[in-house]
């Protein structure tokens, strides 16, 4: 095995596809990382709608490997394939619920389930509002089995001047949750 860190990035169909793309970009730009991408069918549609018709091919071109969501036998579906963690950005309620219930019927959910069973970091950027009790219970269940719930909440104290700055800060904060010391951290609060 190479000494490069393998990080899995999942993009599900919730609004906020640019968040997942930015996470993949930041990790791919780092020479210490191999990025393994998995994108749901719903996310493909969201990427086209929110970013543009070539968004999926653009993000696929920068990552180390793009795994089809239907490929339940891909390397990232096995605990023997060592990774430094996984980020699902954005994470739809459907994907959150499947992860919380261990209903691994596609590669994204199976890869997330592998992170949990192997006691690796799994960060879920849950993107929904408002929330009802079922959503909150799914978040609690995912937390109880080891996931980190990290909704994409902007840090207004950073005084972002654009949506791009907000997306970048949220992506960096999410990557920070993997504790990988990649030197791509979000700007710290200075008091």
pLDDT tens readout for residues 10-58 = 999 999 999 999 999 999 999 999 999 999 999 999 999 999 999 999 9
CA distances from 16 to 3, 23, 130, 152 (A): 32, 12, 15, 9
pLDDT at 57: 98
With a cut of 70, say whether residue 170 has pLDDT above it. Answer: yes
**Better-predicted residue by pLDDT, 77 or 183:** 77
Statement: residue 160 has pLDDT above 70:
yes
Would the pLDDT of 187 be above 90?
no
Q: What is the mean pLDDT of residues 100-115?
A: 97
Local structure of 114: helix, strand or coil: helix
Assess whether pLDDT exceeds 60 at residue 1.
Answer: no
**How far lies 77's CA from each of 82, 85, 159, 170, 190, in Å?**
10, 13, 40, 27, 41
What integer pLDDT is reported at residue 16 of this predicted model?
98
Is residue 151 classed as helix, strand or coil in its secondary structure? coil
Query: What pLDDT score does 3 carry?
Result: 83
Quick one: what percent of the chain has pLDDT higher than 70? 99
Which pLDDT does position 181 carry in this prediction? 86
Give, as one character, the DSSP assignment of residue 64: S
Domains of the chain: 5-176 (3.40.50.1950)
Does the pLDDT at position 141 exceed 70?
A: yes
- Is residue 86 pLDDT above 90, yes or no? yes
């Amino acid at each position: 095995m190479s000494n490069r860190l393998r990080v899995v990035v999942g993009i599900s169909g919730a609004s906020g596809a640019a968040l997942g793309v930015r996470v993949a970009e930041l990790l791919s730009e780092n020479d210490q990382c191999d990025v393994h991408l998995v994108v749901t069918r719903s996310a493909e549609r969201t990427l086209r709608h929110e970013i543009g018709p070539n968004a999926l091919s653009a993000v696929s071109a920068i990552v180390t490997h793009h795994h089809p969501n239907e490929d339940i036998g891909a390397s990232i579906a096995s605990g023997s394939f060592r990774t430094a963690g996984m980020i699902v950005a954005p994470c739809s309620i459907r994907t959150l619920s499947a992860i919380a219930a261990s209903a691994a019927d596609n590669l994204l959910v199976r890869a997330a389930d592998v992170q949990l069973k192997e006691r690796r970091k799994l960060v879920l950027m849950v993107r929904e509002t408002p929330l009802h009790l079922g959503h909150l219970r799914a978040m609690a269940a995912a937390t109880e089995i080891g996931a980190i719930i990290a909704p994409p909440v902007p840090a207004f104290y950073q005084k972002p001047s654009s949506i791009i700055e907000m997306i970048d800060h949220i992506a960096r904060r999410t990557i920070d949750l993997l504790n990988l010391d990649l030197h791509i951290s979000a700007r710290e609060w200075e008091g």
